[in-house]
Structure 1
Amino acid sequence: MKIAIFSDTYAPEVNGVARTLQKLSGYLQEKQITHKIYVPENRGQTIEYSGVERLTSFPFLLYPECRMALPNFSSLNQSLNDFSPDLIHIATPFNVGLYGHYFGKKHRIPMVASYHTHFDDYLDYYHLSLLKHWFWRYMEWFHRPFEKVYVPSVSTRDKLYKKNIHSNIGIWGRGVNHQFFSPANRSAEMKKRYGIKEKYILLYVGRVSVEKDVQTVLNTFKSLPPSLYDDTHLIVAGDGPLLSQLQAAEPEKTTFTGFLKGERLAEVYASSDVFIFPSSTETFGNVVLEALSSGLPVIGADKGAVPHLIDHGSTGFLCPPKHTQSFVKHTETILRNEEYRKQMGYKAREFALTQSWDDIFSGLMGGYEEVLKKKKVLTPA
C-alpha cells in the first residue's frame, strides 16, 4: 500500500492536526508502509521530516502563522506520478487538498478525507457568519468523491451527517502518550521556575485566540472566592494572536509561558491541579486527553467534542459554554476537596490509559484496506 497524504499543516507546527499526522507518519514508518506527505513549506524550519514534500506557501489571512500552499503544479504532478499512490488521504479542504482531490479523480485513485476543524464556528468568532452557507455548499461538493470521510468524534460525525456532507463517515479518534503525559512528571521545580508561591495551580494549554474562548479561563480565575483566589495561580501555556494583549491586561498571579513542548509541557500538566478548557469549537480536544493522562481533573465546555472525553462528576465537569459562574462553581468544588480531586485525577488517568495510538492507527489501516478492496471490486477490469 502506497499512501499520499495532503495537509495544510505538519510538524514543526504545533496543533492537533499536525501532531496527529506526524504520529500517523511514525506509525506508517514503523509498519513499513510507504507514504508521502504533501504540505506547505514552514518558514524558518530547521528539521527535515522523512517522507514530507514541502510546497511554496504564503500566510493565511485569519492565521498569519498558518500557511497556504502555492504549489508548482507541473512539479507536484510529476512527484505524484513518480510516487504512484494506491490511496490518497486528504486532511484539508483547501488548496493542497484541492490538488490531491483533482489528481485522485483524474487518475481514479481511491480517496478518503479526514475532517479536523469546525471552520464554520470560527467564522462566527471572526464576524464572517454570512459565509457559512457557502462554506457548507463547498464542503458538500468537496467531499462528494471520497470513499469515506473520517472525523475525530461522534459529535463531529453527527454534525456532518446533518449537513449531508457524506453518507459514509467513520470515527478516527486520537490517542495519547501515557508515558510522556504522566502524573510522575509532577515537580516542585516548576513552581520555582515561574516564581509561583500559591498552593493551587489552574492550567490552560492551547492556542491563545478568540475561538478558544481563553477569556472564560481568565474570568473564572478572577471570579473565584477571595480566599481561594489568594491561594491559586493561573498558568496559560500557548501562543496565539491574543497573547500579547492578555499579558498586558492580566494580574500578577497569572503566568503566560508562551509555547511549551517536550518535558516542560509534561511537567506543567503534571504539576497543576485543575485543567480548564472552555473551547466549544473542538472536533476532538487533544490537550484535554493530555491533561487527563497527566492525572488532572478537567473542566470543559459542554459542546463540541470535549464532552466525549469528560465523565461529568467523575473525571471532571462540563459547563455551558462561556458560563463563568458554572466554571467557578466546579473549580471551587475540586480545589476545596483534596480527596475528591485525587479521586478525579486517578479516574482521569485510568480513562486516558485506554486511549492507545496503536489501536487507533490499526483501525485506520483497516479502513484503508476496506476502501481499497471495495474500489477493486467495483472497478471494471
Structure 2
Amino acid sequence: MRIAIVTESYPPDVNGVAHSVVRVAEHLVRRGHQPVVVAPASATRPTPDRHHPYPVVRVPSVAVPRYRGLRLGLPGPRLTEALAAHAPDVVHLASPFVLGAWAMTVAGQRGLPTVAVYQTDLAAYARLYRLGWTEAAAWRRLRSIHNAADLTLAPSSRSVADLVAHGIQRVRLWRRGVDAVRFDPAKADDELRRSLAPDGALLVGYVGRLAAEKRVELLAPTCRLSGVRVVVVGAGPADRELRKTLPDALFLGELHGERLARLYASLDVFVHPGPHETFGQTVQEAQASGLPVVAPAAGGPVDLVSPGRTGFLVPPDDGRAIADAVATLAADPGARRCFGTAARAGVTARTWAAVGDELVAHYRTVLTAPAPRIAA
C-alpha cells in the first residue's frame, strides 16, 4: 500500500504529532508499505532528511505568531506535486489545519481516500495564543476539514466525545503506542538520582513542551512541599518565565533517547498539569517506566490514569490539588510501588506495532468502502 502522510509538524519539532508520524511511518516500512511524509520546512534543518527509511518532502513554511519554534506549512504546488509523484492509495492527514486542509482539497480532487487524525486541541490554542481565531471559528474549520475525510481517528474517549459534540462525523478511537523496551523501570540510575536530589528528596518529574497550554506553573505548590524536588524536562516559549515562576525546580532542558528513559525510570512520581491533552504521550511513557502519575481529570489522561490504582486524577487547573496528590504519594512508598507496577502492566501491550496494525486496518476500511464526503 502506498500512503502519503501529510503532517503539520515533524522533527526536529518535539511534540506528539511529530513523534507519532515518525513511529507510524517506520511501522509502515516494516510492514512492507510505501509511505512518504510531507511536512513543513524546518528553520533549523535546511538540508534534506536522509536518515529516514522513507522519503520526506518539505514544503515552504512560516513561523507561527506568538508560538516560538512552531511553523506552518504553506499550501502550494510542492504538496500537489508530492502527492502526484507518490500516487498514494490513501492520504493520512496528521492533525490537519493548514497544510492538511490543502491536502484534503487535493485528495478530493483526485478521488483519493483520506484518514484524518485529530491530535491537537486547536480550539484551546486559538484562545490561549490569541491567533486571530475564536474557539468557535477553530471548531468550524476543524469540522470542515474532518467532515471532508472518509474517517477521523481520535486518540482518547474524551477527544471522540468532543469531536462528536462539535458535529464531526465518522469518528473512531485510535490510541497511541509506547516503547516499553526503551521506557523501563530497570533503567533507574542511582547515580543520576543522587545528582538530582543529593539530600534524598522525592523526585517529581514533568516532561513536555514548556508552553502556556501545558500549565507547568501549576507545579508551584508542589515545589514548596518539604522533601520534594521537582524536575522539569523540556523546552519551549515559556521556558524563561517558568524558571522565574518555579525557582526551586530543576530545569534540565530537552532529553531524548536513553537519557530520557533513564530520567523517567529514576523519578518517583510523574506529574502532567496541562488540561488540553488529546492523549498524553508522556503520561504513557512515565507509566511504562513504572511511575505513578498525577494528572488532571481532563482530556487523554482520563483514559490513561486509573485513580487509586495507577495514580490520581485531580480537578483541572488546580495546583493545590496536584500538590496534595503528590504529598499523598510521598507519604506512602508502598502505594507508589503498587501504582507504578500497575501502570506499567497496563501499557506494555500497547506497542507501536499493535497500534500501527490498527491504523493499517483503518486504511483498508476507507479503501474498500470510502464514505461520502460531507461539507460543514
Shared fold, TM over 0.5: yes
One-letter identity of the residue aligned with 2:176: R
1:217·1:277 contact (CA, 8 Å) conserved in 2?
A: no
1:196·1:233 contact (CA, 8 Å) conserved in 2?
A: no
Out of 237, 240, 245, the position equivalent to 1:241 is: 237
CA drift of 1:64 comes to 2.5
Larger radius of gyration: 1
Task: Tell me what 2:264 maps to.
Answer: 269
Of 367-376 and 234-243, deviating more is 367-376
Task: Tell me what 2:216 maps to.
Answer: 214
CA drift of 1:192 comes to 4.4
- Once residues 324 and 17 of structure 2 are traced to their aligned partners in structure 1, the CA distance between those partners, rounded to angstroms, is 33
**1:137-160 residue CA offsets vs partner (Å, 9 max, x unmatched):** 222222222111011011100110
1:301·1:318 contact (CA, 8 Å) conserved in 2?
A: yes
1:285-364 aligned within 5 A: 285-364=280-359
CA drift of 1:376 comes to 10
1:189-208 aligned within 5 A: 189-194=191-196, 196-208=198-210
Task: Tell me what 1:24 maps to.
Answer: 24
Higher RCO, Cα 8 Å, sep 6+: 2
Task: Tell me what 1:42 maps to.
Answer: 42
Structure 2 alignment gaps of length 5 or more: none
**1:94-130 residue CA offsets vs partner (Å, 9 max, x unmatched):** 3311221121111111111111111112233235697
The 3 A distance-change label for structure 1 pair 113 and 43 is same
- Once residues 129 and 110 of structure 1 are traced to their aligned partners in structure 2, the CA distance between those partners, rounded to angstroms, is 32
Report SS of the residue matched to 2:134. helix
One-letter identity of the residue aligned with 2:63: P
State the Cα RMSD in Å: 2.0
1:92-131 aligned within 5 A: 92-126=95-129, 131=134
Out of 122, 137, 155, the position equivalent to 1:152 is: 155
Of 37-46 and 256-265, deviating more is 37-46
One-letter identity of the residue aligned with 1:238: G
Of 336-345 and 138-147, deviating more is 138-147
1:200·1:232 contact (CA, 8 Å) conserved in 2?
A: yes
One-letter identity of the residue aligned with 1:184: A
- Once residues 63 and 85 of structure 2 are traced to their aligned partners in structure 1, the CA distance between those partners, rounded to angstroms, is 29
2:126·2:138 contact (CA, 8 Å) conserved in 1?
A: no
CA drift of 1:353 comes to 1.1
Out of 58, 62, 66, the position equivalent to 1:58 is: 62
CA drift of 1:233 comes to 1.0
**1:325-355 residue CA offsets vs partner (Å, 9 max, x unmatched):** 3222211111111111111111111112131
CA drift of 1:16 comes to 0.7
**1:170-204 residue CA offsets vs partner (Å, 9 max, x unmatched):** 11101111111110110122134446433310111
1:64-103 aligned within 5 A: 64-70=68-74, 72-73=76-77, 75-103=78-106
Structure 1 alignment gaps of length 5 or more: none
One-letter identity of the residue aligned with 1:250: L
2:222·2:230 contact (CA, 8 Å) conserved in 1?
A: no
1:275·1:297 contact (CA, 8 Å) conserved in 2?
A: yes
Of 350-359 and 266-275, deviating more is 350-359
One-letter identity of the residue aligned with 2:238: L
1:5·1:36 contact (CA, 8 Å) conserved in 2?
A: yes
- Once residues 371 and 17 of structure 2 are traced to their aligned partners in structure 1, the CA distance between those partners, rounded to angstroms, is 30
CA drift of 1:11 comes to 2.0
1:222-237 aligned within 5 A: 222=224, 224=225, 229=226, 231-237=227-233
Out of 168, 171, 175, the position equivalent to 1:169 is: 171
1:364-375 aligned within 5 A: 364-375=359-370
**1:252-310 residue CA offsets vs partner (Å, 9 max, x unmatched):** x4210011111111111111111111111010000000000101000000011111100
- Once residues 193 and 291 of structure 2 are traced to their aligned partners in structure 1, the CA distance between those partners, rounded to angstroms, is 17
2:5·2:36 contact (CA, 8 Å) conserved in 1?
A: yes
